[in-house]
Amino acid sequence: MRLTLFLLFGLLFSIGCETPSPEPAASESITSAEAASANRIPDWANDAVFYQIFPERFRNGDLSNDPTRESLETPIDRVPESWEITPWTSDWYARAPWEEARGDDFYEDGVFDRRYGGDLQGVVDKLDYMRDLGINTIYFNPVFYARSLHKYDGNTFHHVDPHFGPDPAGDFALMATETSDPSTWQWTQADRLFLTLLEEAHSRNIRVIIDGVFNHTGRDFFAFDDLRRNQQDSPYTDWYIVNAWDDPATADVNEFNYEGWWGVETLPVFADNADGSDLHPAPKQYVFDATARWMDPNGDGNPEDGIDGWRLDVANEVPLQFWADWNDHVFSLNPDAYTVTEIWHDAAQFLADGGFSATMNYHGFAFPVKGFLIDGTSEPSTFASLLNERREEYPMEMQFVLQNLIDSHDTDRLASMIVNEARQPYENEESAERYGYDWGSRVSPRNTDNYLVRAPNEREWQIQKLVALFQMTYVGAPMIYYGTEAGMWGADDPDDRKPMVWDDLTYDPEARDPLGRSRPADPVAFNHHLFAFYKDVISLRQEHASLRRGDFEVLEADDDSNTLVYSRSLEGETHVIVLNRSDDTHTIRVPFSASGMPEVLFSTTDKGYQLEQDGEALLIEVPALSGLVLQ
């Protein structure tokens, strides 16, 4: 996750995406560590299609538990008393009176204090929607109690946020009686609703993984709250990095100073052990206890009632020894678990050393896809070479479970990436990749006045379908960010976190602009056509094992026509996928020795295509910006 800082009567923050970090140092080849990781790749992950849910913005299923003004992280004197829940269906860029009272800037004056009331009941209510879409694994952004909208400032790792459950007041009262000792921990109503969600999801053959943020906490975390109040007398003095204690002799000044993640005071950082090789033993034990709570809630040794794995935030900012021990702990609780890191560069050695199952595949998937299919600036031959090079950095078993995402809560949305394809020239190919994907100065009106916030046009939707086809037919486990399948668009944080567009709600058109620019009034509604497309392409993947577990081979990469042909093969079943990223129709010659004409299983467009046998080759006429799957 990247931290974006800006002034708002002091420091207000938002959690975004990439944490800048040095490229991994050269290391010895992956040997015994690689073998250990191979044993931590659950078979089910080969068939996974992930669906990422940002809980506060997915569905408000229970109006009685909505957040209150007092629940916000921002100092209460900064939020007008007129604050209220933002209507789910309002124009995203329209500002409420309480926001306008704060100032004139959309991004600095209120949007991060909005709450829409999304909760776990809303997720339960929409499990059948997800099953109908065809996904089989949910990834939740943090569900633990925190004051922010994103919940990466966790105030506990063993309780679901009370405002995600049916009885916030009762839950807070229970939580107030607890310590770090698990014997004092209660099951709140929000916790119990989460367990119900797990049961309901599992009954639909949907697995669930959750976000773990183990390098920092929020300020209301029980240990830090006690430390802040009791200073040197707190039993938690070793849990955090304290630079200075408050001097009681200076009543008008509070000298208490501690390390915050990226210097942000709302995110106090856990201390490491003496030599920096591990977390401090006390918070480490707490994390282990919380981990066990969610993986085996009733403690009977059977993990079926628990979560199915973890996504680990800013994993490279936690010592490797912690991860090695923590993964040992996780897989002792559930040998069929899945642990996936947030690493934005080559993560192969880190995964092996830490004992993880996989990583979010920004480096090996999202970056190259952005260059070729979205921006159209990378040639097919370069794209194919880069895919192979970066995929083969990982052990073979791991390649099939890498989490292949395009967009997330940390990036602009896929549709808006396409609307803004290659808006600015790059100095060279290297800078195009590094700065072409999720670079702050390019992906939001917060930082550039030429980022377009409009809805996609028909050409741009066609490119999104092409991207989705590749995502569902390439090596690795695809992940869809909530609403991508429903036609949502938006710039980087916070615009990528709009409330989900549902077909049973009527939305105001999006007519305002965050910078006051003129723009068309875009209707906002559930895109049934795009949803049907995603449903069909997911079904295609689920119906054919070769598209999930098969070998990958590039058959043709033609830079002149901007076309790519590749195959996926498994146990006698072969599928050939043809992608045309050009704005023109092209006839592609593909080696083909089978008798008879192949069957077209899938097409991204209803425009005509033609197949013709030519000796030991197949001539395929493919419409502009479209793709085919042949068998």
The answer, yes or no, to whether residue 39 has pLDDT greater than 70, is yes
| Model pLDDT, residue 263 | 93
For residues 278-303, b (16+ Cβ closer than 10 Å) or e, as one string?
Answer: bbbebbbebbbbbbbbbbbbeeeeeb
Kind and range of the H or E run holding 171 = helix 168-175
| Model pLDDT, residue 596 | 76
| Model pLDDT, residue 17 | 40
- 85 in helix, strand or coil? coil
Q: Which residues pair with 573 in a beta bridge?
A: 570
The answer, yes or no, to whether residue 38 has pLDDT greater than 80, is no
Report the distance separating Cα 449 and Cα 482, nearest Å.
Answer: 27
Can you read off the two tokens belonging to residue 226?
A: 């006690």
Q: Are strands 563-570 and 586-591 parallel, antiparallel or unpaired?
A: unpaired
CB 125 within 8 A of CB 61: yes
The answer, yes or no, to whether residue 426 has pLDDT greater than 80, is no
The answer, yes or no, to whether residue 590 has pLDDT greater than 90, is no
Residues 6+ apart with CB under 8 A from 87: none
Q: If we measure between CA atoms, which residue out of 576, 570, 615 comes closest to residue 595?
A: 615
- 599 in helix, strand or coil? coil
Report the distance separating Cα 393 and Cα 143, nearest Å.
Answer: 33
CATH class, range 3-218+276-537: alpha beta
Report the distance separating Cα 481 and Cα 498, nearest Å.
Answer: 12
Report the distance separating Cα 568 and Cα 602, nearest Å.
Answer: 14
What mean pLDDT do residues 450-468 have? 97
Q: Which residue has the tokens 């946020």?
A: 161
| Model pLDDT, residue 179 | 86
With a pLDDT cut of 90, the percent of the chain lying above it is 85
For residues 550-572, b (16+ Cβ closer than 10 Å) or e, as one string?
Answer: bebebbbbbeebbbbbbbbeeee
Q: Which of 342, 407, 412, 556 is catalytic?
A: 342
**E-strand stretches of 39-153:** 50-53, 137-140
- Cα Rg of the chain, angstroms: 25
Taking the domains of the chain in order of start, what are their residue ranges? Answer: 3-218+276-537, 222-263, 550-630
Task: For the beta carbon of residue 576, count every other beta carbon within 10 angstroms.
Answer: 24
User: How far lies 562's CA from each of 57, 453, 558, 630, in Å?
Assistant: 38, 28, 6, 19
* Confidence at 15, pLDDT banded by 50, 70, 90: very low
Q: CB-side exposure of 102: number of CA atoms within 13 Å? A: 28
Report the distance separating Cα 507 and Cα 56, nearest Å.
Answer: 18
DSSP 326-337: HHHHHHHH-TT-
Q: Which of 211, 313, 407, 493 is catalytic?
A: 313
Mean pLDDT (the chain) is 92
Which range, of 9-13, 266-270, 599-603, averages the lowest pLDDT? 9-13
| Model pLDDT, residue 3 | 42
Can you read off the two tokens belonging to residue 526?
A: 């559930």
The answer, yes or no, to whether residue 355 has pLDDT greater than 70, is yes
Report the distance separating Cα 302 and Cα 286, nearest Å.
Answer: 21
List the CATH code of the domain at 550-630: 2.60.40.1180
What mean pLDDT do residues 46-65 have? 98
* 342 in active site: yes
* Helices 189-203, 168-175: crossing angle, 10 deg rounding: 110
The answer, yes or no, to whether residue 112 has pLDDT greater than 60, is yes
Report the distance separating Cα 474 and Cα 483, nearest Å.
Answer: 21
- How far is residue 304 CA from its own chain's centroid? 24
* 313 in active site: yes
